[in-house]
Structure 1
């Protein structure tokens, strides 16, 4: 159950794809490495238009890919996918696991201004400001006072303190083994206070933006491309081998694959799932399928009267043949989802599965029909509503399959 209502999980532990000579974790990629290496330019096909360059307004993978290239959190991810020091060069944890103290490395924003502990606190306070309406603000609720600040409680104060410019102390509401990994997320990034105060929400425009990551934004042409160049102020710039990264926007996966095959892209971050067999036969050396911790779901509008009965929502979930979608529609190794948390999630126990997980699909449909009939929906009086999906042929194929199952 989410704030909006029941979540009907379809797929989890889905696979990410890479086409090329190098694996890009969590993505699908096609590469033409010889040209990229010669010119030191990496051309990436991104399967969606960025929402914003402001980390506090990002909620899509397609956007976070770009943001992660430009911003360095207290921690970042190493080549093996494990958290490693980022803007924080070291940290200590109290014996009770409730207090973290970070030593901020000596490094600058892209305009040469030093990055300080207070810049991280400012970023968190901005994210939690109720007036901002940040979608992912709740991800910081593990920090003491964060929820109270975000919900506008009088006298609320975030338990994060700058001991000095390079020392940040953070107190949690409870021990959280996942906290360090959480600091790699854009919700925990610092903000350049001097720039945000000057330009407000316009601070992320190419002519204004200041960052502390490996690359900085120089051009964003909506629905065409986003261009980044190497940030010479980045603390480890000497070890950044690529001078320019261009993200080209493709809602159409097939078009993106065609651009890759024409050597106009070095990386394609997704594929048209109906072409997986052809890709395996013809581009096997380029295709990479890697684990991806995520879940595909539809959120139901429980503010609509027709969806307020939990039996209606349960019936819709029962009627989705997850196995058919994973095996016949996508065919790329996704697992049927019967819990909201994917199996194998770090620092998490065995997921809680729905009680009807092991029923045959025929029994699930029979139960779904009983539930619908009990609230008055029949073939003569069907439940009618609109199903919306994100733009792409992959999402469309899933939506068509689910529509037919619900009929």
Structure 2
């Protein structure tokens, strides 16, 4: 038996009647001006690109800028609002079986940019193509993370792609079968790996050739000057074209960051990155233009708790002391200077559905944290008269070096003497994989906008290169897969991480940009940083 569920995936997952869902689907697009706002005659948005655009293929494109372009040209079962919450894309109804293993999607009546209907078979062909080893897709792992039946053995080349758990029941009904329930399944359906491809297409369907690339998104490819610019125009065949205000999207390649900033000031670009170190002053001078936007990544110092790690680090109180001793506020304000936020937990603050624990170290000022760190270290038998000696490993980026030096500086007065080991990235990653380190810097980024994208890393069978294991933690995450409201379970998992300190969480990533205030609809709190031209509009001067 299947039951209707909300196609939005905010926590908790809400079940409601088909009539309520129909009302939601009848709402206009998000990119509508507020009362009193006056639209510009020129509805265009010009944005920065760091390099030439490669092939635009949902199965192959993996660079952030290319994936941004794909979201304009194609649309999957779900899309996102400005906060990152799931809203309907190509689906108009979503039903889930009682055991959580079968998902049925009723597709809306939609057409490709060439006028052909978008069908369930187009999704089946696209998803099979992603997991087929012949494709060599960078996103094959993503469909395995979605727990789609047979994805893993297909990727391993053990069985054919035709056995993937995705079926077209008819032209507008798609069925997906999972190997185990995934409460956040809907949150994973806006990724380009899940986009459909048109019939008789290899996926790139003309690569980046104007007039040949066929998509089902709100925009089509109009022009492409390799290494210079790419232009997209409103797709009249898009199912919700009547509610799309923006007419033209134009990406301009500018390798030099200072040159891009100069072009922004001249009015040639509407959105550009801020060069390193310039955000504080620009934010002071242009507070309505300089902004810090979240990136779904967290920076941490991972402790090696495996048999190869130092015996001292087996003590959770000592690990908490090391975490408490880091002066994160100063690391963010003095070293990073890019809008990042200090991290007292693993999950990025902007991730949808996060109910972060209250109290604990986050409620203390740094003096109190440092005092508690001294106390915990003394309890473990260490202090300035009997120092703890450890090695902190990092890879050769200048920023990593500065942060490592800061950490060493903060730990030294506590009686912790740290040697720094600077390695190239490949050696650093290999040693982490082999658990040949004591403390190692690490950054983890979420694949989708839900706390489990972070918390699963520390599962006993997760990435977890430090070797930490906790049965209660694993059980909480197992329960969360089936829970209608997993937020309290995720909160308990974060509390265990705070108590056990398998790593010292340092900061949550951000990016800083200059954005033309006339451009409205760009997300400011979406952890994934995804934007959609269909939600944008330009105000008159």
Gaps of 5+ in 1: 1-23, 25-32, 299-308, 352-356, 373-382, 390-396
Larger mean CA deviation between 42-51 and 332-341 belongs to: 332-341
TM (norm. structure 1) is 0.70
Shift of 1:259: 1.0
Post-superposition offset of 1:211: 0.4
1:260 equivalent to 2:261? Answer no
Tell me by how many angstroms 1:147 deviates: 1.1
Q: Confirm or deny: 8 A CA contact 2:84 2:352 kept in the other structure.
A: no
> Which is greater in Rg?
2
Structure 2 residue 276 is the aligned partner of structure 1 residue 273: yes
Which of residues 71, 86, 89 in structure 1 aligns to 2:89? 86
Assess if the C-alpha contact under 8 Å between 2:132 and 2:160 holds in 1. Answer: no
Alpha-carbon separation, structure 2, partners of 1:350 and 1:273? 30
Q: Name the counterpart of 1:13.
A: none
Assess if the C-alpha contact under 8 Å between 2:55 and 2:208 holds in 1: no
Q: Which residue of 1 aligns with 2:201?
A: 195
Deviations 1:284-340 (A, max 9, x none): 122333433224689xxxxxxxxxx878xx9xxx9xx89465322332332356886
Partner of 2:289 in structure 1?
286
Within 5 A, what are the aligned runs for 1:175-186? 175-186=181-192
Q: Which secondary structure does the structure 1 equivalent of 2:167 belong to?
A: strand
Distance (Å, rounded) in 1 between the aligned partners of 2:296 and 2:403: 22
Equivalent positions of 1:168-179 (< 5 A) are 168-179=174-185
* Deviation at residue 45 of structure 1 after TM alignment: 1.8
Residue 124 (structure 1) aligned to one of 120, 123, 127: 127
Q: Could you give the per-residue CA deviations for residues 54-108 of structure 1, whole angstroms, max 9, x where no partner exists?
A: 1212223222211111111101012342111101112111122211111111111
Map 1:217-228 → 2, pairs under 5 A: 217-228=221-232
2:242 matches 1:241: no
Q: Which stretch has the larger CA shift, 336-345 or 156-165?
A: 336-345
Q: Indicate conservation of the 8 Å contact 2:72/2:219, yes or no.
A: yes
- How far did residue 220 of structure 1 move? 2.7
Report how far residue 204 of structure 1 moved.
Answer: 2.0
Shift of 1:42: 1.3
> How far off is 1:278 after superposition?
1.9
* Aligned-pair CA distance for 1:176: 1.1
Following TM superposition, by how much is the alpha carbon of 1:192 offset from its aligned partner in structure 2, in angstroms? 1.0
Q: Aligned residue for 2:42?
A: 39
Kindly tell me: are residues 367 and 104 of structure 1, through their superposed partners in 2, closer, same or farther at Cα, counting changes over 3 Å? Answer: farther
Aligned match of 1:232: 236
Using the alignment, how far apart are the partners of 1:133 and 1:322 within structure 2? 43
Q: Give the alignment of 1:56-75 within 5 angstroms.
A: 56-75=59-78
Alignment check: 8 A CA contact 1:40 1:244 kept: yes
Post-superposition offset of 1:184: 0.5
The 1:248–1:403 alpha-carbon spacing in structure 2 relative to 1, beyond 3 Å, is farther
The correspondence of residues 140-179 of structure 1 with structure 2, limited to 5 A, is 140-141=143-144, 142-154=147-159, 157-179=163-185
- Offset, 1:261: 0.9
Per the TM alignment, residue 367 of structure 1 is displaced from its structure 2 partner at its CA by 9.1
Mapped contact 2:279–2:290 kept (Cα < 8 A): no
In 2, the alpha carbon distance for the partners of 1:400 and 1:246 equals 37
Which sits farther off after the overlay, 334-343 or 73-82? 334-343
Aligned residues: 336
Q: In structure 1, how many angstroms separate the alpha carbons of the residues matched to 2:217 and 2:229?
A: 20
* Distance in 1 separating the partners of 2:309 and 2:73: 43
User: 1:329-340 to 2 correspondence within 5 Å?
Assistant: 329-336=335-342
Within 1, Cα distance between the matches of 2:159 and 2:77? 29
Query: Which structure 2 segments of 5+ residues have no match?
Result: 1-29, 31-36, 302-307, 314-321, 358-369, 407-419, 423-541
Q: Are residue 114 (structure 1) and residue 117 (structure 2) matched? A: yes
- Relative to the length of structure 2, the TM-score reads 0.54
Q: Distance in 2 between matches of 1:113 and 1:297?
A: 49
Offset at residue 125 of structure 1 (A): 0.5
Note if contact 1:90-1:102 (Cα within 8 Å) is conserved in structure 2: yes
Q: Is contact 1:122–1:190 with CA below 8 Å preserved after alignment?
A: yes
Higher relative contact order (CA 8 A, sep 6+): 1
> What SS is found at the alignment partner of 1:52?
coil
